[in-house]
Structure 1
């Protein structure tokens, strides 16, 4: 199938063995220095990396999916020359705390060397300065993951880290790309929009949750990535823009009636979606005594895309 279609389907690749090797190589290069030239602390070995690491592609976006516990040995030299050894465990190194910032890293420290004033000072130094050095490495991990394995999932001449859909392969005469030369081409866009046949698609779901909580989950910029697993922009005010799935869906809020209704313009950033065209998504929340029914009604779906859009609404 063409790249524009192939990249739109969900695919994933398990890269756990590669990830463990990466952590073993990169984390053992971490070293910090004390204020005095005598004090130095390094990560000496990666004891264990427990968890799964995958790279997924969804709607032409590359998404890192990982949650690992990492156990490390560290060692250093105290100001009096004593060799000091210890262990540190990080229970969660994940997409959520590395990229989304939903939680802070937690460090469980232990000291193997017998305590003394110089040893305790070095232990304090390790606890104060190693986290920042480790987190700098953790921030590099998703970038390295996509750089190394993204080409295996993306069917395109250019694998995109930011998830920009592959360029359209339609003939230049009908292209609406903004990169095209400013010649008569833009004049064809209004004509195409006027002749566009559209329809309405609808999806329903019932959740064991309160309507106000679901309303927040759908509109709060900090909570949206919990279910999209991708960056989002949303200020939840009438007239403001929103962006979901790292830019895969964009639009503008038309009206919000918490916690009962959300009306927004809605456009898919895909080669299959006509450039410049927006549909209208009306989300209604009907709370009963023990659950809330959500109805998604999308008006203005271009003919031929009904099945694809319905699957997306039901799936996400």
Structure 2
């Protein structure tokens, strides 16, 4: 079956067992130091994960499907070394909350340790700081599902990409009657440029957020090699200079800087290291910083996103960038997000330049064409009313006959 046909049909894979391991590994790695020396809070155990997690494929697009309840144990420590413990229930962890932003997470907290001023302070600290860290981890779940299991549902036509291998065409066998030598054949065969990639139909994805921070601070956060790991939670390489390469998220995103305008704009090539991303294809990420008196709006505009991956890339930008900033205290004031296709942008631009034509005024020829008819009608009416005054017949039936006679005479 052709790869395009194979990817068109619906396929599904249940990965609930894998998801339980993912929750246990990722959420129990959350440790947040307190404001005082020795204080900290953390997630110590995932006691229950009830629900289903699946990955589907339809029309060459991977779709994450999950809705589950997660029960956790959390622990804390006061500055004097007192151990604090409790439990936390998240009734719903779903695609609708993480990817579609249709609702907010709900947290049901409980405290197991006997109450005291120090214990209550740690309890309040846990309730204020752990949700942000948990949501940051959960935002990476859709991407982790696709990275780990997408290859099992995707049939690729490119042997260099991870996926179901496609048989290559067998080389032609040599013929004794052939008059073309190997050298001649090599000279006449077209040479494909090294490193060239097939043309990809693409769109533009735009995600924006507003933070209570300066443009200088956010620019440094995006380009400084020492600060990037704080919000990506992974090693990074970045010189922050035009023409130099960079890697983010431990090599999950690679590219090079095209231009940098301090505190204003960053333009860089951008390629996702994922089975769903076309091999050799690069998009262009333009990050614009618009500072106001109290906050800075960050606009991530990624041009060149392969068609069909808009949803996945939108989730990645929100989950890894926006929630990454949020995880280290840069809480967004607002973050409306949108997905724009290149065709949509062109139509919007055309709509602003095209004006409706004004209705044409009635031509003089159409008016003058009615004049003879109006004149004749006026004469008929005048004759009809004048005849009774010029005849001796009394008004009545005879006048009606006279009127009819005059009218017929006029139109002979």
Bin for the TM-score computed over the shorter chain: 0.5 to 0.7
Residues 148 and 81 of structure 1, relative CA distance in 2, 3 Å threshold: same
| Aligned counterparts of 2:55 and 2:151: Cα–Cα separation in 1 | 11
Deviations 1:201-247 (A, max 9, x none): xxxxxxxxxxxxxxxxxxxxxxxxxxxx9877479xxxx828xxxxx
Q: Aligned-pair distance for 1:79? A: 2.4
User: What residue is the counterpart of 1:104 in the other structure?
Assistant: 104
**Does the Cα contact within 8 Å between 1:32 and 1:40 map onto a contact in 2?**
yes
Residues 141 and 125 of structure 1: is their aligned pair in 2 closer, same or farther, counting only changes over 3 Å?
Answer: same
- CA shift, 1:80, in A, is 2.8
Q: Is the 8 A contact 1:38 1:78 kept in 2?
A: yes
Structure 2 residue 31 is the aligned partner of structure 1 residue 15: no
Larger radius of gyration: 2
In the alignment, the residues of structure 1 paired with residue 200 and residue 49 of structure 2 have an alpha-carbon distance, to the nearest angstrom, of 45
Q: In 2 relative to 1, CA 150–37 (structure 1 residues): closer, same or farther, beyond 3 Å?
A: same
1:80 paired residue number = 80
Give SS of 1:91's match.
strand
What's the counterpart of residue 121 of structure 1?
121
For structure 1, the residue ranges without an aligned partner over 5 or more in a row are: 161-165, 167-171, 181-228, 243-250, 254-316
1:68-118 CA-partner distances (Å, limit 9, x unpaired): 110000111112321100001111111111112111111110000010000
C-alpha distance after superposition, 1:37-83 (max 9, x if no partner):
22111111101001100000011011100011100001111123211
Structure 2 unmatched ranges of 5 or more: 167-189, 191-197, 202-310, 315-337, 349-412
The structure-2 alpha-carbon separation of the partners of 1:113 and 1:152, relative to structure 1 and needing over 3 Å to count, comes to: same
The CA deviation string for residues 247-306 of structure 1, in whole angstroms up to 9 with x for no partner, is: xxxx969xxxxxxxxxxxxxxxxxxxxxxxxxxxxxxxxxxxxxxxxxxxxxxxxxxxxx
SS at match of 1:105: coil
Counterpart in 1 of 2:5? 5
User: SS at 2:99's partner residue?
Assistant: helix
Deviation string 1:100-138 (CA, Å, 9 cap, x unpaired) is 211111111000001000000000000000011111110
Q: 2: CA distance between counterparts of 1:234 and 1:25? A: 35
Q: Extract structure 1 runs of 4+ deviating beyond 6 A.
A: 229-232
Q: Does 1:241 align with 2:344?
A: yes
Match for residue 146 of structure 1?
146
Residues 57, 252 of structure 1: alpha-carbon distance in 2 compared, 3 angstrom cutoff: farther
RMSD: 3.2
What is the CA–CA distance in structure 2 between the aligned matches of 1:24 and 1:120, rounded to whole Å? 27
* Matched residue SS, 1:113: coil
| TM-score, length-scaled by structure 2 | 0.41
State the match for 2:92 in structure 1.
92
Partner of 1:100: helix, strand, or coil?
coil
Task: Output the CA distance in 2 between the equivalents of 1:86 and 1:26.
Answer: 19
TM-score, structure 1 normalization: 0.52
Match of 1:27 in 2: 27
Distance in 2 of aligned mates of 1:178 and 1:84? 57
Question: Where does 1:1-316 land on structure 2 (aligned, <5 Å)?
Answer: 1-156=1-156, 157=158, 158=161, 178=199, 233=339, 241=344
Identify, as 1 or 2, the structure richer in strand: 1
Query: In 1, distance between residues paired with 2:42 and 2:19?
Result: 21
The answer to whether the Cα contact below 8 Å between 1:150 and 1:159 also exists between their aligned partners in 2 is no
Structure with more relative contact order (C-alpha pairs < 8 Å, separation 6 or more): 1
Distance 1:10 1:252, change over 3 A: farther
Q: Secondary structure at 2:150's aligned position in 1?
A: helix
CA distance 1:147–1:178, change in 2 (3 Å) = closer
CA distance in 1, matches of 2:128, 2:27: 17
